[in-house]
Amino acid sequence: MYRNPFFLGWNKGWSFLFFLEGGIAKIEAKGFGISITTKVKKGESPLESADRLVLKEQRIRKSRYYSWVKSINEKTIN
């Protein structure tokens, strides 16, 4: 399969692949050891889809990080 990666300037470390699967436009993001895929929503450009996908993943990662930090702080207080 021919790869057509493009990059978001604000978020280095991620590469994206826009492709059709069963007639449905999808986008795949790879970076930091993970790979995530989503459908391109109606009326959305590939750049907007990539931005939405990475933003969601960053929120999840931040949430996990802060949960971890909170658990570490609780252990040191007790």
Q: pLDDT tens digits, residue range 38-63?
A: 999 999 988 888 888 888 888 888 88
Cα–Cα separations (whole angstroms), residue 21 to 1, 6, 25, 40: 12, 18, 6, 11
Q: pLDDT tens digits, residue range 23-43?
A: 999 999 888 888 999 999 999
Domain boundaries, the chain: 5-77
CB-based burial label for 41 (10 Å; 0-12, 13-18, 19+): exposed
Q: Which amino acid is at 1?
A: M
pTM of the full structure: 0.65
* Whole-number CA gyration radius for the chain: 16
